[in-house]
Amino acid sequence: MTAHSSFDLFRLSDDHLAVREAVRAIAADKIAPYAAGVDRTESFPQAAHDALVAGDFHAPHVPEQYGGVGADALATCIVIEEVARVCASSSLIPACNKLGSLPLIIAGSEDLKHRYLTPLAQGRTTFSYGLSEREAGSDIASMRTTAKQVGDEWILNGQKSWITNAGVSDYYTVLAVTDPDGRRGGNITAFVVEKADPGFSFGAKERKLGIKGSPTRELLFDNVRLPADRIIGRPGEGMRIALRTLDHTRVTVGAQAVGIAQGALDSALAYVQQRQQFGQRVADFQVVQFMLADMAMAIETARQLVYVAAAKSQREDADLSFFGAAAKCHASDVAMKVTVDAVQLLGGFGYTQDFPVERMLRDAKITQIYEGTNQIQRIVMARHLLAGGTA
């Protein structure tokens, strides 16, 4: 056995531990103090954005050749997890930046990568992702947004729904049907759309249950003219690029869910150790200790699954689809249960906005829905197993 034994697989590297320490310090000092206000006012967490940019954590996944720090998939997950631990809305800054720009990293030309990844790495913009539509949520192949080629341009018409950080981002990866008579799913193409493009506008901000600091709006396209060099990959490759992107970014949703759950457990632990009932700390009741133990156990299993999936994402393993879906599905289910239990442990106080667990419960719900509902994740996993794959 070499000096680096198989047991090292279950221990974070010194570099990953350093990332965690650095992000945790920023989150505690620059993000946590504003989290409740961001939620209450439904305002974009600009202070968090600026702090993450200053620390090079706003888009850590961008490769070094485009001005980024080139963080691996696990380091990016750690960043998202630690930010989500104090503010889920703020964690969508690095998460959404990866989702929006990963199609370029996967399939974009070198010109597109330099043109759009460089300002992203510099913190001059954020990047969003336009896939879902009103009538094409889980069934993305049914999208109706179209792009028609006219000479050297493509004319984009239609809309996209539930777009994270819409209106804040300057750049958007947008999927559109480019061959209406083509094979379903094989007739979709990915484009980069700029906020300043004439004919591109936004719907009103959605009124949401949670992640209120991250604006969610529709993208509206009215004869938006895109030069041919805005295509990501080749015409007809959009669905393949979109699904490959989601295989990777579902892992980051899992990381966000783990962070939310950990933040809720942190708050519950602090509360039950100082709250007195019946002449003793609430933490001294065995039923409470069992709840805390179950919460911590669930979080740790979710964290380990997310980290394994992140390693598979970095290696581009063949079973990433299964593990990405499993990580997202399990971690988000854990986040929902843990936040509900955290509210229960705080009793009436947990139901108020005086404590963060109420916000964390509301924020946790979306992790079971976006980037594919957990029902869709189970379909993805089942198909992998039925095709002869192994878990």
∠327-329-332 over CA atoms, to 5°?
A: 95
Would 6-121 and 239-386 be classified into the same CATH topology? no
Please give the average per-residue pLDDT across 78-97, as a whole number.
98
Give the CA dihedral 260, 174, 314, 73, nearest 10 degrees: -30
| C-alpha 143: how far from chain center | 22
Mean pLDDT of the chain, nearest integer: 96
Give the span between the Cα atoms of 112 and 118, in whole angstroms. Answer: 10
Give the span between the Cα atoms of 189 and 155, in whole angstroms. Answer: 13
pLDDT at 276: 84
Identify any residues that bridge with 277 across adjacent strands, giving them in sequence order: 280
**What Å distances lie between residue 368 and 56, 103, 185, 213, 217, CA to CA?**
28, 23, 25, 18, 19
Say which residues have a Cβ less than 8 Å from residue 34's Cβ, sequence separation at least 6.
45, 47, 48, 87
Say which residues have a Cβ less than 8 Å from residue 248's Cβ, sequence separation at least 6.
73, 98, 102, 313, 320, 324
- Domain 127-236 falls in which CATH fold? Butyryl-CoA Dehydrogenase, subunit A; domain 2 (2.40.110)
pLDDT at 5: 45
pLDDT at 332: 98
Judging by beta carbons within 10 Å of its beta carbon (0-12, 13-18, 19+), is residue 165 exposed, middle or buried?
buried
Task: With beta carbons less than 8 A apart as the criterion, state whether 192 and 232 touch.
Answer: yes
Q: What is the pLDDT of residues 325-380, one digit of tens each?
A: 999 999 999 999 999 999 999 999 999 999 999 999 999 999 999 999 999 999 99
Give the span between the Cα atoms of 61 and 248, in whole angstroms. Answer: 12
Percent of the chain scoring above 90 in pLDDT: 94
DSSP-assigned letters across all residues of 309-373: HHHHHHHT-TTHHHHHHHHHHHHHHHHHHHHHHHHHHHGGGGGSTTSTHHHHHHHHHHTTTTTS-
pLDDT at 1: 33
If we measure between CA atoms, which residue out of 97, 87, 13, 19 comes closest to residue 59?
97
Please give the average per-residue pLDDT across 181-188, as a whole number.
94
pLDDT at 391: 65
Strands (E), 99-228: 127-130, 146-150, 153-164, 171-177, 188-194, 200-202, 216-227
The tokens for 166 are 């819409």
Task: With beta carbons less than 8 A apart as the criterion, state whether 233 and 241 touch.
Answer: yes
* CATH class of the 6-121 domain in this structure: mainly alpha
Give the span between the Cα atoms of 339 and 71, in whole angstroms. Answer: 30
Q: Over 70: is that where the pLDDT of 4 sits?
A: no
Domain regions of the chain by residue span = 6-121, 127-236, 239-386
Strand pairing report for 280-281 and 276-277? antiparallel
- Active-site residue list: 371
Q: What is the pLDDT of residues 129-170, one digit of tens each?
A: 999 999 888 888 899 999 999 999 999 999 999 999 999 999
Task: With beta carbons less than 8 A apart as the criterion, state whether 261 and 297 touch.
Answer: no
Task: With beta carbons less than 8 A apart as the criterion, state whether 20 and 28 touch.
Answer: no
Quote the pTM value: 0.96
What CATH code is assigned to 239-386? 1.20.140.10
Q: What is the pLDDT of residues 218-230, one digit of tens each?
A: 999 999 999 999 9
Task: With beta carbons less than 8 A apart as the criterion, state whether 169 and 125 touch.
Answer: yes
Give the span between the Cα atoms of 90 and 85, in whole angstroms. Answer: 10
Say which residues have a Cβ less than 8 Å from residue 202's Cβ, sequence separation at least 6.
166, 167, 217, 218, 219, 220
| C-alpha 133: how far from chain center | 18
The set of long-range contacts for 46-53, using a CB threshold of 8 Å and a minimum separation of 24, is 48/83, 48/87, 48/89, 48/90, 48/93, 49/90, 49/93, 49/123, 49/126, 51/26, 52/26, 52/83, 52/90, 52/93, 52/94, 52/123, 53/123
Please give the average per-residue pLDDT across 102-126, as a whole number.
97
φ, ψ for residue 388, nearest 5 deg: 100, 5
